[in-house]
């Protein structure tokens, strides 16, 4: 008996975390290769990019959420409607790591699935001198206890930003959602694919 479901050509990634940890900065660095040092409060913004993978159009939606806890209903809806989650904290802010722990609990409770794709991101590694969170401790908690992925990044220095998105898309299992004829391409996607859109094109980009 075949359990084949309708192929999904859309995936939604959501960035969650305390205020000021750099969620928007990571997204802007990925989408536009720009960095705005001044913190701007986000309520909720949805970015959409279309990619062409072997003739199949894939829409990647990236949801940037508020770091404020005054929107619990909005956050719950964001979690319900998303496929993979980036939980962002700042390496110079231990409290933001506590926020990641409670957000993860909330995601697992809402999704009712302990295998929900989650990538924990320690942002602002450019502030190494101000670091207050040990990456060894977080790595061991996230990978051993939580069985999730962990990356450190810097939106400011463009370190590991593309890797964060590649990890999210791999975990969202996007390749297996392509048509069966393209399944054999799975091994090359997205490792050999550059997900950064060309600078001169804003609406969509073609991946070779």
**CATH number, domain at 80?**
3.40.50.300
Residue 4 counted as domain residue: no
Which two tokens mark 130? 């101000």
pLDDT digits (tens, 9 = 90+) for 48-104: 988 876 677 889 999 999 887 677 888 899 999 999 999 999 999 999 999 999 999
pLDDT class of 108 with cuts at 50, 70, 90: very high
Residue 19: domain span: 10-206
Which two tokens mark 51? 């990619």
Which long-range contacts link 167-176 to residues 24+ away (Cβ below 8 Å)? 167/119, 168/13, 168/84, 168/85, 168/86, 168/117, 168/119, 169/11, 169/13, 169/60, 169/84, 169/195, 171/84, 171/117, 171/118, 171/119, 172/11, 172/13, 172/83, 172/84, 172/117, 173/117, 174/11, 174/58
From 68-82, 124-138, 180-194, the region with the lowest mean pLDDT:
180-194
Residue 57 counted as domain residue: yes
Residue 77 counted as domain residue: yes
Residue 1 counted as domain residue: no
Give me the number of domains the chain comprises: 1
From 4-8, 20-24, 110-114, 129-133, the region with the lowest mean pLDDT:
4-8
From 13-22, 30-39, 144-153, 195-204, the region with the lowest mean pLDDT:
195-204
Residue 145 counted as domain residue: yes
Question: How many CA atoms within 13 Å lie on the side-chain side of 124?
Answer: 22
| Distance of alpha carbon 115 from alpha carbon 102, whole angstroms | 17
Residue pair 26/18 in contact by the 8 Å Cβ criterion: no
Residue 181: its pLDDT value, please? 37
Mean of per-residue pLDDT scores for the chain:
82
pLDDT class of 124 with cuts at 50, 70, 90: very high
pLDDT class of 173 with cuts at 50, 70, 90: low
Which residues make beta-bridge pairs with 120?
87, 150
Residue 193: its pLDDT value, please? 42
Task: Give the pLDDT mean for 19-36.
Answer: 95
Residue pair 120/138 in contact by the 8 Å Cβ criterion: yes
pTM surpassing 0.85?
no
Residue 127 has pLDDT above 90, yes or no: yes
Residue 134 counted as domain residue: yes
Residue 16 counted as domain residue: yes
Residue 7: its pLDDT value, please? 54
Residue 33: its pLDDT value, please? 93
Residue 2 counted as domain residue: no
């Amino acid at each position: 008996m075949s359990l084949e479901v309708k192929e999904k050509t859309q995936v939604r990634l959501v960035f969650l975390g305390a205020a000021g940890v750099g969620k928007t900065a990571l997204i802007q660095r990925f989408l536009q290769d720009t960095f705005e040092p001044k913190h701007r409060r986000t309520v909720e913004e949805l970015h959409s990019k279309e990619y062409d993978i072997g003739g199949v159009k894939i829409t990647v939606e990236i949801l940037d959420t508020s770091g404020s806890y005054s929107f619990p209903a909005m956050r719950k809806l964001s979690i319900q409607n998303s496929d993979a989650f980036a939980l962002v904290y700042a390496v110079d802010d231990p409290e933001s790591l506590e926020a990641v722990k409670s957000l993860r609990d909330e995601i697992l409770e809402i999704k009712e699935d302990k295998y929900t794709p989650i990538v924990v991101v320690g942002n602002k590694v450019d502030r190494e001198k101000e670091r207050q969170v040990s990456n060894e401790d977080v790595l061991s908690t996230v990978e051993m206890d939580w069985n999730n992925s962990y990356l450190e990044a810097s939106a400011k220095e463009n370190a590991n930003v593309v890797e964060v998105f590649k990890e999210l898309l791999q975990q969202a299992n996007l390749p297996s959602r392509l048509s069966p004829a393209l399944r054999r391409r799975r091994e090359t996607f997205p490792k050999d694919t550059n997900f950064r859109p060309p600078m001169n094109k804003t609406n969509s980009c073609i991946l070779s």
